[in-house]
A and B are shown apart, each in its own frame.
Chain A
């Protein structure tokens, strides 16, 4: 087993030298998570808007449900999706198990409640006068919705950043439905888990550095957005 210093130096050299395998893993991670966020955000924000704006029976229960779903572990989402997509499952014929599509679906399921819960909080804090002003100046309900969303955009961006941070760092779901296949479904987190189990720390550390830098960037963006939110209030 190599020492921590050796492994760390090797990790840096892998990153700097543009190691093909390492960068393939990183690009799969970003590709899958960006797709998941892109597909989920519109539906999640529409749901959040409906929960914040319309009164209907069961609204509070739904809001509580989404808050509860925030705590569901990634492996449970992975297990459920595995059962649905496995050959004997209801969607087995689609042959999606151990594909990037399955990983995207898993991450969509993980990000949806975060986007709805945080989006709902942001939209609920929107001033009632925004909707009334838009409406009285002639906006259709859809256009008034976009105006309200625009006014609370920093809160909505914060929701998207938080959801992205959660799904790019999750391991359980991607491992179960992706299968950790090199150059296809091996992403940053599943690669770290595999390399560590093999006692090969250099690649694991290099990928860990990427995740840490990403976490730093996302957190910095979040705190900047929070600052703007505070200025807005």
Chain B
């Protein structure tokens, strides 16, 4: 097994007197999909945001590139490799095409190359027919797919997804599972915080439950063969 991209040690986060997270070890590995489940308020979102470099933990060590450092020192490295997706992804007040292009425009790529890549990415997510629509006018499922495409195009090593299938109808959930599975098969590390354990079972490699601030490994019910095209997902 390949060494983890990031290995987080002793992650703690308090809100007032309440210890929200007290995690001994959490590994993020390439090509592996990890499901984090837990009750509402268990700290799933906070954990994902810490792992994405968006929320500062009270303490945490990160093992990256054979070196151990504090979370603060590792933050820039983390942010370069991890993209976090909100439960209800924020759509910039512009077209779908420009939303997807956002990450590429930050890196001053030539305009023609940006829009070629955007067009390819929209075809991948079967969103090409919506390219010129304002992203705010899309349905929840379509927004989630735009957000996944917008994340994929910047080639992150890790994708942290917060409740990606909440409030979606059956068909949108299946499209989302398929896109996530394809990203995992491309070698991306996927972290999913979700209540939807059944739906993710076919694509999950590791399942941990967040209880009382600790991560407890849950036996993965099912691990399918790598590269097999998924055609059926449980409801």
* Chain A hits for B154, CB < 8 A: 137-138
Interface size on B, residues (CB 8 A): 22
B83/A137 in contact, CB under 8 A: yes
In B99-116, the 8 Å CB interface with A consists of 102-103, 106-107
Interface residues of A (CB under 8 A from B): 127, 129-130, 132-140, 143, 147, 150-151, 232
B54/A136 in contact, CB under 8 A: yes
B222 at the binding interface (Cβ < 8 Å) = no
A132/B54 in contact, CB under 8 A: yes
Do A138 and B90 form a contact, CB below 8 Å, given A132-B54, A143-B106?
no
B103/A137 in contact, CB under 8 A: yes
Query: Assuming A129-B86, A129-B88, what are 11 further A-B pairs, CB within 8 angstroms?
Result: A127-B90, A129-B89, A130-B90, A133-B89, A133-B90, A134-B102, A136-B84, A137-B151, A138-B106, A138-B154, A151-B92
A6 and B90 alpha carbons, distance in the complex (Å)? 60
A135 and B89 alpha carbons, distance in the complex (Å)? 14
B150 at the binding interface (Cβ < 8 Å) = yes
B178, chain A: closest CB distance, angstroms: 23
A127 and B93 alpha carbons, distance in the complex (Å)? 12
B93, chain A: closest CB distance, angstroms: 6
A132/B84 in contact, CB under 8 A: yes
A232/B54 in contact, CB under 8 A: no
Q: Which residue of B lies closest to A147 (CB)?
A: B92
Do A138 and B93 form a contact, CB below 8 Å, given A132-B54, A132-B84, A132-B86?
no
* Chain A hits for B86, CB < 8 A: 129, 132-133
In B22-65, the 8 Å CB interface with A consists of 49, 52-54
* Chain A hits for B133, CB < 8 A: none
B172 at the binding interface (Cβ < 8 Å) = no
Q: List 27 A-B contacts (CB under 8 A).
A: A127-B90, A129-B89, A130-B90, A130-B92, A132-B90, A133-B89, A133-B90, A133-B92, A135-B54, A135-B79, A136-B52, A136-B53, A136-B54, A136-B82, A136-B151, A137-B83, A137-B106, A137-B150, A137-B151, A138-B103, A138-B106, A138-B154, A139-B106, A150-B92, A150-B93, A151-B93, A232-B93
Q: Which residue of B lies closest to A134 (CB)?
A: B102
